[in-house]
Structure formats: structure tokens, C-alpha cells
């Protein structure tokens, strides 16, 4: 059928199907209210609505191809569009908004949201060791499992499978951390209006029980002389060996040692001030660590090697800016104590030895920066700095004497100095 043969409008589906193409594209008015039927030279047919936008400009809005969209359907669509236009809603603006929303949904993957959350954590001043740990497990465990999924498409089953995969390799501590980070990521996303759901919210209820925690391998007093003598002649690099000695001399956490910065040290005063955000105990203020003479001497020597940089024990570039997690334990293993002692176990060794020699419990707890329970933690802000300085100098001297071979007279002299604040003999 030629367009000149059209007898009535709106056109019937018989007429629409029979219309033949011309050498050029043409449009045929259908209902007299802006609905047109377009026919291309290749025979392709579709519906268009002609309308004025808010600026008074005439525009075309596609309503779909024929025969997928019949005449009746096209007229219903056109009527709906005219209703929206009367309310000031342009079909072009609506189409653009829908496209933007679709693109946003397609790009709102868990990976993108997780990276935004990580940037947020960085802006909160979280300790670098904590950020490094989060980054490691994001890249190693969480993102490979969930990263490419749309945020709103992640299910409880997805989160459960991730948790079970960690538990299957006995990484219960990692599973616990990942649960916390997943909840934080989804919580942050909910707060930002990116989603309404947290599919990781009940993972704790189905978490497998972790095996009983074992104490870190540590040495008792009678085992220390052999270890100390071996460490003195160790072939480990000076920075690594110094890190091991610092753990011994200060009873500090290996993580605090590894990420220690020169700006935190006052070697003249013999003090190391660890910023609050670096401390394991949440909400704790800065922790002041007295340095025995042995530590000050070792740090002055180390400063000649690494003092121009930020960290005492620099790592390899921006990804690992400070000493790796395993370096200290490797140095201990190198002197023959693999499985018998780890860096963190040195804290247990110090606590045990100091307790056996009856140093006051408050001094010991403050030195190792353990959280105090209940109201004691609220009211007791004492740092016992003079007492701890005396205690840790006593401890460093005691270790030296053990390595050299302690006599009974020396042992008695050490016992006389317990809980005494003042210069050591």
C-alpha cells in the first residue's frame, strides 16, 4: 500500500503492515495528537511522538518498533507521555535519567564501593598497619569473591560461601576480620544511600567455632641465655636484628615495632611515643615507652642507616612501606629457635619473668599496654613512667647478665632493685 492510499486515521494494523517504503524516509500522522508512524527506505517501521519541551523546542521521542509495538500500544504509550509532558516531565529528560541510573547501577560493583570505603578509612587516620592488613585481605580474599558483583546482587549465600572458604583453610581469625569489614562496607554503603541491605549481617550466627587459642611460643628464663647469645652473633641484617632486640627490651607488640617512625622517638630523653591510632586497644591515647640504655645505643646506630627515611625498618616501596610481618620471626628462626619463640611470644616472656621477680602488676600491665577492665580502665590513667623506666632498664640489664652468665651474687643484686625507682647500679 502506498501512503496516498491511506483512507482513515488512526491507522489499522492492516494498513500499518501494508505500507510500502519509499526511496526516502517518511512519517505518517496517526492520531492527530503528535503520534507518527515512521517508514524507512529499508522497510524498517517504528513509532515516534512529536512534542515540545519546556523551552518550546520540537523534539521526537521513539516509542518502539513495529510490529513489536502495535497501533493500540503506541497510542497508549503516546497518551502516557503526553500526561507526563503536561506535568513538565520531558520524555528526553526521563530517558536520560533512566540511562544514567542504569549506568550507575552497572558501575556500582562491590569492588568500587569497597575501594570508596577503604578511602574513607584512610581519611579517618587509621594506623598504617591496620590499613595494610585490610588492603591485604581485601585483595586476597574479599574482592576475588565479591568484587565484580553488583552491590545489590550480592546475596547472603555469597557471603556465607566466602566465610566458609576462609574457615575451610582454618583461617578463623581472617574470617572474623572479613566479617567485620564486610559489615562495615555494607554499613557505609547504606549510610551513603547506595543500598538498603547488608547481606553479611548474620554471618556471626553461622560462623564455625575456632579451635582453642594457643599461647604464642615463648621462652622461659632458663632458655633465654642460649637464645640471647645466638642473637648476638646472628647474621641477620642490622635493622632486622635491631627489631628483635627492641621487642625484647621494650616488650612491645611486633606490629608497633615494625611500623615505628623516627618522629616518634626522643633518643635524648629515652622515650618512644606510639600514637593512639596505632595502638591495639580502641580509643587509647598515645602510649609512652621508656627505652633502656641498650635500646638507645642500638637506635643511634640504626639511625645512621635508616634515619633519613620515615620508618626505622623500611620495607620495599609504597605497597610495603615498612618491614614485613614475617621478618622478625624469620630472624628468630635463623638463630635456631623456630617453633620455640615468635616475636609476640617475647612479650609473654617479659611478663612472666617480671612477674616471677615480683615487679608490680600495674607497672607490667602499663608497659605492655593491655586494656584495663571496667571502671579501672576509665579512672586509672597513670602511666607509671619513672617506675617503668626503672623496670625496663632492670629487664635489659638482666637479659645482658643472663647472656654473659649470671652469678648468685648478681641475681641477689637484681632482686634488690625490684620496684626501686632510681638509677641502676
Any domain includes 216? no
pTM score above 0.85: no
Which sign does the torsion angle of CA 355, 359, 360, 366 carry?
Answer: negative
Last residue of a domain, one of 105, 131, 150: 105
> Residue 306: which CATH number?
1.10.443.10
> Residue 129: which CATH number?
1.10.150.130
| 267 lies in the same domain as 376 | yes
Any domain includes 424? no
Higher pLDDT, 133 or 244: 244
| 80 lies in the same domain as 51 | yes
| 43 lies in the same domain as 170 | no
Output the pLDDT for position 378: 36
Any domain includes 421? no
Give the domain range for residue 53: 3-105
Number of domains in the chain: 3
What Rg value do the Cα atoms of the chain yield, rounded? 36
Last residue of a domain, one of 51, 82, 105: 105
Q: Which three cell numbers stand for residue 242?
A: 635491631
Write the pLDDT tens digit of every residue in 328-357. 999 999 999 998 999 988 999 999 999 999
Any domain includes 64? yes
Higher pLDDT, 16 or 424: 16
28 vs 80: CA distance, rounded Å: 20
| 302 lies in the same domain as 411 | yes
| 62 lies in the same domain as 119 | no
Exposed / middle / buried, residue 159 (Cβ in 10 Å: 0-12, 13-18, 19+): buried
Lowest mean pLDDT among 18-32, 91-105, 294-308: 91-105
24 vs 22: CA distance, rounded Å: 5
| 379 lies in the same domain as 230 | yes
The whole-chain average pLDDT of the chain stands at: 88
19 in helix, strand or coil?
A: coil
Output the pLDDT for position 31: 84
51 in helix, strand or coil?
A: strand
| 257 lies in the same domain as 358 | yes
Q: Which three cell numbers stand for residue 301?
A: 646506630
Output the pLDDT for position 388: 95
| 137 lies in the same domain as 46 | no
Largest CA distance in the chain: 124
Higher pLDDT, 125 or 313: 313
348 vs 202: CA distance, rounded Å: 35
Residue 380: which pLDDT band, with cuts at 50, 70 and 90?
very low
190 vs 2: CA distance, rounded Å: 59
Write the pLDDT tens digit of every residue in 44-101. 999 999 998 888 889 899 999 999 999 999 999 999 999 988 888 888 777 766 665 5
> Residue 22: which CATH number?
3.30.160.390
| 45 lies in the same domain as 19 | yes
Amino acid at each position: 500500500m502506498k501512503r496516498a492510499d491511506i483512507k482513515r486515521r488512526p491507522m489499522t494494523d492492516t494498513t500499518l503492515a501494508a505500507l510500502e517504503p519509499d526511496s526516502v524516509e517518511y512519517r505518517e500522522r496517526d492520531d492527530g495528537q503528535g503520534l507518527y508512524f515512521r517508514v524507512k527506505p529499508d522497510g524498517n517501521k517504528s513509532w515516534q511522538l512529536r512534542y515540545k519541551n519546556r523551552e518550546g523546542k520540537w523534539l521526537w521521542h521513539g516509542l518502539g518498533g513495529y510490529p513489536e509495538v502495535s497501533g493500540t500500544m503506541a497510542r497508549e504509550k503516546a497518551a502516557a507521555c503526553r500526561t507526563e509532558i503536561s506535568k513538565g516531565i520531558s520524555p528526553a529528560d526521563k530517558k536520560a535519567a533512566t540511562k544514567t541510573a542504569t549506568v550507575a547501577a552497572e558501575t556500582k560493583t562491590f569492588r568500587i564501593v569497597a575501594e570508596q570505603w577503604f578511602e574513607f578509612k584512610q581519611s579517618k587516620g587509621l594506623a598504617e598497619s591496620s590499613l595494610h592488613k585490610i588492603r591485604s585481605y581485601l585483595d586476597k580474599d574479599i574482592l576475588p569473591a565479591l568484587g565484580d558483583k553488583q552491590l545489590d546482587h550480592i546475596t547472603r549465600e555469597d557471603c556465607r560461601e566466602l566465610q566458609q572458604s576462609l574457615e575451610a583453610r582454618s583461617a578463623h581469625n581472617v574470617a572474623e576480620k572479613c566479617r567485620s569489614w564486610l559489615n562495615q562496607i555494607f554499613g557505609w554503603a547504606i549510610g551513603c544511600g547506595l543500598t538498603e541491605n547488608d547481606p553479611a549481617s548474620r554471618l556471626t550466627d553461622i560462623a564455625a567455632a575456632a579451635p582453642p587459642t594457643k599461647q604464642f611460643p615463648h621462652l622461659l628464663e632458663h632458655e633465654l641465655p642460649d637464645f640471647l647469645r645466638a642473637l648476638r652473633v646472628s647474621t641477620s641484617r642490622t635493622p632486622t636484628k635491631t627489631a628483635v632486640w627492641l621487642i625484647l627490651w621494650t616488650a612491645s607488640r611486633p606490629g608497633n615495632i615494625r611500623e615505628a617512625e623516627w618522629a616518634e622517638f626522643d633518643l635524648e630523653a629515652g622515650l618512644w611515643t606510639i600514637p593512639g591510632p596505632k595502638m591495639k586497644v580502641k580509643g587509647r591515647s598515645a602510649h609512652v615507652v621508656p627505652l633502656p640504655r641498650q635500646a638507645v645505643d642500638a637506635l643511634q646506630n640504626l639511625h645512621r642507616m635508616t634515619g633519613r627515611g620515615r620508618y626505622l625498618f623500611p620495607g620495599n616501596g609504597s605497597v610495603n612501606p615498612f618491614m614485613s610481618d614475617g621478618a622478625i620471626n624469620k630472624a628468630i628462626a635463623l638463630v635456631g629457635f623456630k617453633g620455640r619463640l615468635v616475636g609476640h611470644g617475647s612479650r609473654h616472656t617479659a611478663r612472666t619473668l617480671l612477674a616471677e621477680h615480683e615487679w608490680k602488676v600495674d607497672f607490667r600491665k602499663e608497659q605492655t599496654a593491655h586494656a584495663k577492665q571496667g571502671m579501672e580502665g576509665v579512672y586509672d590513667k597513670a602511666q607509671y613512667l619513672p617506675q617503668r623506666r626503672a623496670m625496663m632498664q632492670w629487664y635489659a640489664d638482666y637479659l645482658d647478665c643472663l647472656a654473659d652468665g649470671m652469678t648468685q651474687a648478681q641475681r641477689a643484686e637484681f632482686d634488690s632493685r625490684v620496684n626501686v625507682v632510681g638509677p641502676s647500679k
